[in-house]
Amino acid sequence: MSLTDPTRPTDVCLNTDLYELTMAQGFWESGLVDSQACFNAFFRENPFDGGYAVACGMGQIADLVENFVFTDEDVEYLAGLEAPGGGPMFKSSFLEYLRNHRLDLTIDAVPEGELVFPREPMVRVMGPVIDCQLIETALLNLVNFQTLVATKCARVVRAAEGHPVSDFGLRRAQGPDGGLAVARASYIAGAASTSNVLAGKIYGIPVFGTHAHSWVMAFPSELDAFRAFAKSSPKNCVLLLDTYDVRQGIKNAITVAKEMEQAGERLAAIRIDSGDLARLSKQTRAAFDEAGLPYVKISVSNDLDEYTIQSLFAQGAPIDSFGVGTKLATCDPQPSLGGVYKLSAIRGGAAEPWTPVIKLSEQAYKRTIPGVQRVLRYYDDAGCPTADMICLEGQPVADPSRMTDILDPFASYELSGTPVELLERVVEHGRRAKEPDGIEAARDRCKGALMRLDPAVARFLNPQAYPVGLEGGLAQLRHDLAHEERAGSSRPTVG
């Protein structure tokens, strides 16, 4: 496991697909060292059949760029790689170029916690084409999963209707990083806490946890186990009722709760981790109320997601908090956002104008949007977002009251309200453009954005599509470029 590998922290630059390096070598050899590119990271469909995604991971992009350096050890590894056809894969002069190469990138991104919609850039990367390629994989590895899991958690939190949700997913995550990403993104998206202690330490997220079934099994009886835990953790006492039989568990927990009262303490909650949570939570609530213990809260866990939580409330389950693990950490049933990183413009050097480019495909929905793009989000008087329009940077908006649908050039939307730039500068020429807001600010931003989102877009079942379109001139440019590329025409050489 890399966690135990002392070489890890220096290896940001090798956390990449090999083709980024073979392309970098190719650009370097083709005399395109000064050529500049603009790439966009985006996704094509909202995850979970939902109406939105929660941008996440962007607060760590500046760290990634500033820490990106090929060490001597990295260069030595690359120097030892053989090409499949024989000989070294990389030329030694190129590797000398890479050694201590620093990224000269300028990056704009959707602020963490803000909502983001299909096909609009969530991260826009500009700079030397070589640098743009070198950062691609690590950047996608950073924002794809965190955006996905933040979106999943926002849905779970919505279903929980104000009751606290705790991330319990570490053991089913993809290694330590996966667990950290789940905890961080979930907190930004509204989770109250995490079981992950390392996430608590690194990110300052509240940590939560009490005991497992094994605690109960390690004692001669459940009652002994409950008493011992109450004695050890009287200020953090949640008793797990379902090691053997919940009915007996309820009785034992009530006994211990009464004993705690006599010692001046309070049993905070009980937890149920298996069985019919709707029925068992009702039985538990009734028993504790009858015993004069209405303050003891009920927490549940066991393969929960947004739909099981909705169902529990629909059945009237008196549940106070949720531990959500597996389905949060793995983003079941859609474990990938499908985020991509596509070239949208090139230029021969930093002083030249941009040339927009387009990628076609047999699959029309894979056709990209050309040009250096910015996004205007239109807000109504109540501060609620009504539509996003993608425009070209540095070009006037032909008609700020109308945009063309991204997928359907024959459909257009009326725009109204106040446009606000969605992307913000996070890296300027390889250096952080500003200190990151921190995860508390991102969490507040997410909460506000979800509160102001049209309920028709926010709902789980058949959500209304949030309008995202292209400014008129950009729509025309895209149309023209698609025709030209289909015809196989050549652009003038850049670089």
Task: List the structure tokens of 182.
Answer: 């789940």
Q: For residues 355 and 345, is the Cβ–Cβ distance under 8 A?
A: yes
Taking the C-alpha atoms of residue 65 and residue 321, their distance in angstroms, rounded to an integer, is 39
Q: Which stretch binds a copy of itself (CB under 8 A): 100-108, 353-361, 423-431, 435-443?
A: 353-361
How far apart are the C-alpha atoms of 337 and 145, rounded to whole Å? Answer: 7
Beta carbon of residue 231, minimum distance to a copy of itself (angstroms, whole number):
7
Which residues, numbered 182-201, are part of the site for a copy of itself (CB under 8 A)? 182, 195-198, 200-201
Residues 471-490 close enough to bind a copy of itself by CB under 8 A: 485-486, 488-490
For a copy of itself, the binding residue among 266, 447, 452, 479 (CB under 8 A) is 266
Give me the least distance between CB of 419 and a copy of itself, in Å please. 29
Is residue 205 within the footprint of a copy of itself (CB under 8 A)?
Answer: no
**Candidate segments 209-217, 415-423, 424-432, 434-442, binder of a copy of itself by CB under 8 A:** 209-217
- Rank residues 295 and 418 by Cβ distance to a copy of itself and give the closer one: 295
Binding range to a copy of itself, per CB under 8 A, among 274-282, 399-407, 434-442, 451-459 = 274-282
Nearest to 260 by CA among 295, 306, 300: 295
Compute the distance between CA of residue 106 and CA of residue 425 in angstroms, rounded to an integer: 8
Q: Cβ closer to a copy of itself: 265 or 454?
A: 265
Is residue 209 involved in binding a copy of itself (CB under 8 A)?
yes
Q: How far apart are the C-alpha atoms of 100 and 103, rounded to whole Å?
A: 10
Residue 23 engages a copy of itself in binding (rule: CB under 8 A): yes
Among 253, 270, 278, 346, binds a copy of itself (CB under 8 A): 346
**Do residues 402 and 413 lie in contact, with contact meaning Cβ atoms separated by under 8 Å?**
yes
Residue with tokens 């099981």: 308
Position 276: which residue type?
D
Q: How far is the CB of 182 from a copy of itself (least distance, A)?
A: 8
Kindly calculate the radius of gyration of the chain based on its CA atoms and give it in whole angstroms: 26
Contact 112, 59 (CB under 8 A): yes
- Report the site for a copy of itself in 59-98 (rule: CB under 8 A): 60, 63-64, 67, 74, 77-78, 81, 83-87, 89
Residue with tokens 């047999």: 362
Q: How far is the CB of 123 from a copy of itself (least distance, A)?
A: 13
Residue among 62 and 446 whose Cβ is closer to a copy of itself: 62
Total residues interacting with a copy of itself, rule: CB under 8 A: 147
Q: Note every long-range contact of 193-196, with CB atoms under 8 Å and residues 24 or more positions apart, other chains counting.
A: 193/164, 193/166, 193/167, 194/166, 194/167, 194/168, 194/170, 195/166, 195/167, 195/168, 195/170, 195/323, 196/167, 196/170
Separation CA 68–CA 6 (nearest Å): 17
Going from the C-alpha of 189 to that of each of 52, 146, 306, 413, 451, the distances in angstroms are: 13, 10, 14, 30, 12
**Minimum gap (Å) between residue 56 Cβ and a copy of itself:** 12
Q: Of residues 213, 429, 431, 479, which one binds a copy of itself by CB under 8 A?
A: 213
Find the binding residues for a copy of itself in span 284-343 (CB under 8 A). Answer: 326-327, 329-333, 335-339, 341-343
Q: Which of residues 123-182 bind a copy of itself (CB under 8 A)?
A: 129, 132-133, 136-138, 140-142, 144-145, 168, 170-182
Check residue 236 for interaction with a copy of itself (CB under 8 A). yes
Work out the number of other CB atoms within 10 angstroms of the CB of residue 51: 21
Site string for a copy of itself, 363-392 (x = CB under 8 A): x--x--------------------------
When the beta carbons of 264 and 455 are compared against a copy of itself, the nearer one is 264
Q: Give the SS3 label for residue 66.
A: helix
> Nearest-5° angle of CA 69, CA 75, CA 81?
135
**Helix (H) or strand (E) segment spanning residue 476:** helix 472-486
Q: Which is nearer to a copy of itself, 52 or 215 (CB)?
A: 215
Residue 485 and residue 359: Cα distance in Å, rounded?
A: 9
Nearest 5 degrees, angle CA 112-CA 117-CA 122? 45
Tokens of 174: 């993809």
Tokens standing for 438? 């921190």
Compute the least distance from the CB of residue 245 to a copy of itself, in Å: 6
Q: According to the binding rule CB under 8 A, does residue 415 interact with a copy of itself?
A: no
Q: Closer to a copy of itself at the Cβ: 18 or 411?
A: 18
Give me the least distance between CB of 471 and a copy of itself, in Å please.
22
| Three-class secondary structure of residue 386 per DSSP | strand
| CA distance linking residue 399 with residue 422, whole number of Å | 19
Cβ proximity to a copy of itself, 142 vs 422, nearer residue: 142
